[in-house]
């Protein structure tokens, strides 16, 4: 009986294989030989794929409720976020899944670069990987716009304005992005279609090609100083070594499986315990209380653009992404042979560290966001001003009314666009202060026309008292001191 069943099952499987050839096609994925030392360093690619699958699954789920209409998307998203059973969870998983995917791509790229795995014959593995990176970033940005809140519409305005700087076709491009000559009812459809159809299709095709290439060239070994890449002999040596010491892939795959599980659990837990970015004000372009910023993984690039302000700006806005893109695509062609071992590639490692530091530095700058004026500074307290009436008090009021405080801070009150003025009295004297306030600077308006002589005098007397060493110590003494003056 048992034997009969066994026979029937095997017979069915054989029939299925004969008619479909599925095992012949996909069996080698499991059985091909992988280098014995492909261990925990190698789990990031499969984990990225897992993150992508989370995105597809949660994305499909979200689509059950999302309405891609300019007038209704916001409400439907509010419904998903606040009302729908488990909607908050699924939206969170989609957000944290996206974050995980971007981070994992970064780690995966870093590992491949660190180990020189992009070298001959795997140049196109790297190139398809960079294309996938581009699609993923595109998915990230378009996904943020589907939130269809004030941040989304203003991000699209900024994107259109950047596109408008492209020579010749800029304005047309901007209108194409906007689906008209301003934000309108058709704008959302573009981003929706890109996010839900076009980019996922490209990503799936790209992932397929990427994996075909992994199969074609085999999994790279851990770098070994003794085996630099010599294109003429590399393949034969690689296969010879694999035949000797390789292990069928499916015997190695448990690590990928375990790490992917960690990723899934991390995404689920993050979605439960943390909140995705809030759905902000409605997508009403007449609401101007907004400062469009992208989600954290794109924020460092915002800092690049914000800090690029100069005559070079146009070149940086358009040139920086082009240059980064070209450089990334070019990497395997700049050094396609020779050593893979990090110890023999000091300059590659220096470049990797530099890239990480630069991105990190921009990230920190972006978190500070110092180029943004502070529109809601706290009012200066009498303690900070050191007076409750008289010219110093009046100067402090002017400091707030005339907009100084939006860009300059005093003891951490105010903006950081301009220099901190907490101790400006130590640095600048009356004459310098007068000149600066009257004449302004590149990033500061000239106030000569908008302050009366008396106002200017009071403002300066207020600023002159901003000194590190108050004549008296803190406490009552400090309070008495200005009182004397007034």
Partner 1 sequence: MSNDSSSCGGHGHSHGHEHTHPHSEGGCCGGHGHEHGHDHDHAHEGGCCGHDHGGHGQTKPLFDGPIFKNDFERREFLKTAIPGAIAGAALTIPIAGYMVLPSIEGNKHSWVSVGPVEKFVLGETVLVELTNPDDFSWAGVTSKVAAWVRYVAEGEFIAFSVNCSHLGCPVRWLPNAKLFMCPCHGGVYSNDGHVVAGPPPKSLNRYEVRIEGGQVQLKTQAIFLA
Span near partner 1 by CB under 8 A; candidates 138-146, 160-168, 252-260, 384-392? 160-168
Footprint (CB under 8 A) of partner 1, residues 233-272: 234-236, 238-239, 242-243, 248
Q: How many residues bind partner 1 (CB under 8 A)?
A: 88
H helix or E strand, kind and range, residue 247: strand 247-248
Say whether the peptide bond before residue 121 is cis (omega within 30 degrees of 0).
yes
CB 339 within 8 A of CB 224: no
Q: Is residue 351 a contact residue for partner 1 (CB under 8 A)? A: no
Residues 486 and 478: their CA atoms lie apart, in Å, by: 14
Nearer to partner 1, 364 or 477 (CB): 364
Min dist CB 284 to partner 1, Å, is 4
Q: Is residue 327 a contact residue for partner 1 (CB under 8 A)? A: no
Structure tokens at 253: 């795959």
Nearer to partner 1, 441 or 475 (CB): 441
Residues 44 and 456: their CA atoms lie apart, in Å, by: 61
Q: Is residue 371 a contact residue for partner 1 (CB under 8 A)? A: yes
CB 143 within 8 A of CB 153: no
- Which of 91, 115, 217, 408 lies at the binding interface for partner 1 (CB under 8 A)? 217
Footprint (CB under 8 A) of partner 1, residues 34-93: 69-72, 74
Nearer to partner 1, 264 or 303 (CB): 303
Min dist CB 105 to partner 1, Å, is 24
- Which of 6, 12, 20, 31 lies at the binding interface for partner 1 (CB under 8 A)? 31
- Could you tell me how many residues make up the chain? 486
Structure tokens at 139: 């998915």
Here's the x/- map for partner 1, 280-319, by CB under 8 A: it reads as --xxxxxxxxxxx------------xx--x---x------
Min dist CB 26 to partner 1, Å, is 10
| Mode of pairing for the β-strands spanning 413-414 and 409-410 | antiparallel
Structure tokens at 166: 């492209």
Footprint (CB under 8 A) of partner 1, residues 166-185: 170-172, 174-176, 178-185
Min dist CB 64 to partner 1, Å, is 20
Provide the Cα torsion 87, 93, 94, 99; round to 10°.
150
CB 352 within 8 A of CB 112: no
Footprint (CB under 8 A) of partner 1, residues 195-214: 212
Min dist CB 293 to partner 1, Å, is 9
Span near partner 1 by CB under 8 A; candidates 21-29, 45-53, 105-113, 126-134? 21-29
Structure tokens at 24: 């012949």
Q: Is residue 32 a contact residue for partner 1 (CB under 8 A)? A: yes
Min dist CB 418 to partner 1, Å, is 8
Span near partner 1 by CB under 8 A; candidates 103-111, 162-170, 255-263, 474-482? 162-170
Nearer to partner 1, 90 or 460 (CB): 460
Place of tokens 């560290």: 353
Beta bridge partner(s), residue 441: 444
Q: Is residue 24 a contact residue for partner 1 (CB under 8 A)? A: yes
- Which of 88, 165, 241, 344 lies at the binding interface for partner 1 (CB under 8 A)? 165
Nearer to partner 1, 313 or 383 (CB): 313
Here's the x/- map for partner 1, 109-128, by CB under 8 A: it reads as ------------x-------
- Which of 54, 77, 81, 160 lies at the binding interface for partner 1 (CB under 8 A)? 160
- Here the contacts of 207-211 (C-beta below 8 Å, separation 24 or greater) are 207/49, 207/52, 207/132, 209/128, 210/125, 210/128, 210/129, 210/132, 211/29
| Mode of pairing for the β-strands spanning 247-248 and 409-410 | unpaired
- Which of 401, 426, 454, 480 lies at the binding interface for partner 1 (CB under 8 A)? 401
- Cα distances (angstroms) measured from residue 141 to each of 32, 40, 73, 375, 390: 37, 31, 17, 26, 53
Query: E strands of 270-407, at which residues?
Result: none
Q: Is residue 478 a contact residue for partner 1 (CB under 8 A)? A: no
**CA terminus-to-terminus distance, the chain:** 108
The dihedral sign for the CA sequence 241, 242, 247, 252: positive
Min dist CB 85 to partner 1, Å, is 26
Footprint (CB under 8 A) of partner 1, residues 125-154: 153-154
- Which of 49, 102, 157, 456 lies at the binding interface for partner 1 (CB under 8 A)? 157
Place of tokens 């070019």: 330
Nearer to partner 1, 55 or 142 (CB): 142
Residues 427 and 431: their CA atoms lie apart, in Å, by: 12
Place of tokens 């950047």: 162
- Which of 265, 440, 480, 486 lies at the binding interface for partner 1 (CB under 8 A)? 440
């Amino acid at each position: 009986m048992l034997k009969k069943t066994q026979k029937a099952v095997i017979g069915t499987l054989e029939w299925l294989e004969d008619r479909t050839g599925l095992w012949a096609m996909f069996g080698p994925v499991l059985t091909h030989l992988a280098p014995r030392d492909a261990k925990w360093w190698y789990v990031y690619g499969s984990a990225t794929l897992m993150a992508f699958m989370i995105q597809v699954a949660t994305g499909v789920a979200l689509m059950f409720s999302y309405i891609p209409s300019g007038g209704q998307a916001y409400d439907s998203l509010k419904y998903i976020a606040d009302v729908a059973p488990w909607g908050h969870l699924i939206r969170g998983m989609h957000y944290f899944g996206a974050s995980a995917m971007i981070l994992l791509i970064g780690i995966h790229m870093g590992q491949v670069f660190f180990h020189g795995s992009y070298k001959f014959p795997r140049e196109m593995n790297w190139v398809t990987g960079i294309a996938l990176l581009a699609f993923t970033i595109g998915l990230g940005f378009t996904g943020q716009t589907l939130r269809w809140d004030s941040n989304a519409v203003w991000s699209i305005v900024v994107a259109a304005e950047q596109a408008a700087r492209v020579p010749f076709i800029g304005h047309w491009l901007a209108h194409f992005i906007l689906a008209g000559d301003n934000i309108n009812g058709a704008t959302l459809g573009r981003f929706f279609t890109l996010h839900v159809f076009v980019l996922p299709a490209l990503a799936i095709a790209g992932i397929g090609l990427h994996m075909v290439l992994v199969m074609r060239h085999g999994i790279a070994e851990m770098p070994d100083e003794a085996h630099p890449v010599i294109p003429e002999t590399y393949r034969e040596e690689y296969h010879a070594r694999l035949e000797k010491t390789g292990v069928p892939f499916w015997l190695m795959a448990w690590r990928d499986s375990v790490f992917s599980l960690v990723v899934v659990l991390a995404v689920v837990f993050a979605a439960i315990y943390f909140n995705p970015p809030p759905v902000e004000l409605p997508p009403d372009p007449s609401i101007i209380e907004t400062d469009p910023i992208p989600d954290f993984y794109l924020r460092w690039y915002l800092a690049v653009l914000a800090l690029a302000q100069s005559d070079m700006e146009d070149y940086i806005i358009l040139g920086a992404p082009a240059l980064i893109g070209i450089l990334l695509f070019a990497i395997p062609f700049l050094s396609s042979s020779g050593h893979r071992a990090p110890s023999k590639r000091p300059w590659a490692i220096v470049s990797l560290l530099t890239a990480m530091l630069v991105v990190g530095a921009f990230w920190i700058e972006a978190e500070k966001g110092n180029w943004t004026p502070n529109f809601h500074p706290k009012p200066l307290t009498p303690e900070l001003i050191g007076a409750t009436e008289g010219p110093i008090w009046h100067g402090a009021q002017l400091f707030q009314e005339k907009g100084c405080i939006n860009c300059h801070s005093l003891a951490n009150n105010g903006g950081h666009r301009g220099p901190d003025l907490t101790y400006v009295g130590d640095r600048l004297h009356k004459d310098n202060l007068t000149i600066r306030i009257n004449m302004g600077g590149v990033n500061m308006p000239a106030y000569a026309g908008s302050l009366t002589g008396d106002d200017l005098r009071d403002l300066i007397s207020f600023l002159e008292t901003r000194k590190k060493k108050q004549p008296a110590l803190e406490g009552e003494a400090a309070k008495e001191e200005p009182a004397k003056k007034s």
